[in-house]
Structure formats: structure tokens, C-alpha cells
Structure 1
Amino acid sequence: MKFENTGLEKLKADLGNLDEVMLKHGLVREGQWDYDRVTFDKKFEMRDETYYLRVRGYAVEGNVDSGRALIQLMPPLLGKHYYPHGVEYGEGEHFPAALVTQCKNLLDKLKEEIEEFAE
């Protein structure tokens, strides 16, 4: 599920600041990056099912490996994990309404905090 019009997709921000804000809200980058892209994930476990909120971005200046990059954020995704195949983000997936609401509230908080240092 793609979250449209969150406002995050309009923001560019420093990677170091993004790392701090995302981690504060339980979204981790870990090894989900390459030189040009980053992915922050938050895991949700509900009713014996696992879901992930994913906030993605790409470097418009610098590179992620150096730790110094200006990141353009992209529309966030919500996916359902299927063992052993991975996470599906398709429109055909069903997501609990309470989870969608929780994710939207979190995305609103992220936008508000990132706007404070975004370019």
C-alpha cells in the first residue's frame, strides 16, 4: 500500500538528521541502503501477521556510504510479510484499519519533525 500525499515526498533532508528522527520513532535503516538509496523500516506484529512501514529515499547530493547525503524522500509504503518470500506491497493486500491509522499518524509526526530541518 502506498501512502499518497503525506507531504514527506516533498521533503529533502540531511541523512544524519533523518537517521535520528526515524530511529526515535522506531524506523531503522540497518543495512537497507546503498550508495544512492535508503530505506527505513518499522515492524508491526498483529494477529500473528507481520507488517512493515517503509520510508524510502534517494541521495540528491553526496552519497549514503559517506554518511553525508541530502535525501529526497519518497511516498511511504505499508507491506505484509509472507514467510519465506518477503514483503508484498500490492494493492490487493488487506491491511487492518487500525494499523493504517497508526501508520498515518506516525507519518504525520515524521513530516512535522523533518520539516524543522528539511531543505
Structure 2
Amino acid sequence: MRLENTGIDDAVVDLKPLDHLMGKHAFIRAGQWDYERVTYDYRIDSKEKNITYYIRIQGYALEGDVDRGNAVIKLLTPLLGKHYYPHGVEYGEDENFPESLVERAYGLVAKVQEEVEQYKK
């Protein structure tokens, strides 16, 4: 599910402060990057058996190199997904998400967006 109108879409930020502020809000990049793209995930455990939700914020380098840490990243529309063990994460519009989870996701992205504003280029 796309989390529309969050204000984070199309924000342009240097990688180092972006990594810092995302980590501060528990969005983890870990090994989810390549030379031109980054992906930050926030894990939300569920009471449902073998179900975990993820808020995913992705971006791509407009210039520089993610590997070298000098990239300038343009952020994309955040996603809310549901992980089905052992198959993977589904982000499709056909997925059903509890309203409270959607509200929580928007709230978490809003907190990140507030800080992104301070570092926007």
C-alpha cells in the first residue's frame, strides 16, 4: 500500500544525515542498498501468526555513490507491506491493513518527514 501525501515524496537529502535520522526513528537500512538505491524498513510485529508488517521508505541517488557515503538521495513514496512467512513482503493494493496500523504508519512517516525537512537540499 502506498502511503500517499506524506510530504516525504521527492525530498532530496544527503545520505549521511538521512542515515542518522532514519536510524533515530528505527528505520533500518542494513544491507538493503546498492550503489544507486537505499531502502529503509520499519518493522511492526503482529499478533497474527507468521505476519509482520513493514513500512518501507526507498530512495535513489541523484548524484554520488551510496557505497562511498557521498550520495544525494531522492526519496520515494513510502510503502506499507505485509510479510508472509516464508514467502516475502506484499505491498499490493489488494492487501488488507487494519486502520489502526495505517494510522500508525502515517504517524511514523510524519515524524521522519519533520526531520527530513531540516536536511532537505
TM bin, normalised by shorter chain, reads: over 0.9
Matches within 5 A, 1:84-103: 84-103=86-105
Deviation at 1:109, TM superposition (A): 1.1
TM-score by length of 1: 0.97
After TM superposition, the structure 1 = structure 2 runs for residues 41-56 of structure 1, keeping only pairs within 5 Å, are 41-48=41-48, 49-56=51-58
Higher strand share: 1
Percent of matched pairs sharing the same residue: 53
Question: Taking structure 2 as the reference length, what is the TM-score of the superposition?
Answer: 0.95
Determine the structure 2 residue equivalent to 1:80. 82
d(CA) in 2 for partners of 1:8, 1:63? 21
Which aligned segments of 4 or more residues in structure 1 are displaced greater than 2 angstroms? none
The 5-angstrom pairing of residues 1-119 of structure 1 reads: 1-48=1-48, 49-119=51-121
How many residues align? The count is 119
Q: Give ranges in structure 1 of 5+ residues lacking alignment.
A: none
- Give the whole-Å Cα distance in 1 for the aligned partners of 2:117 and 2:22: 13
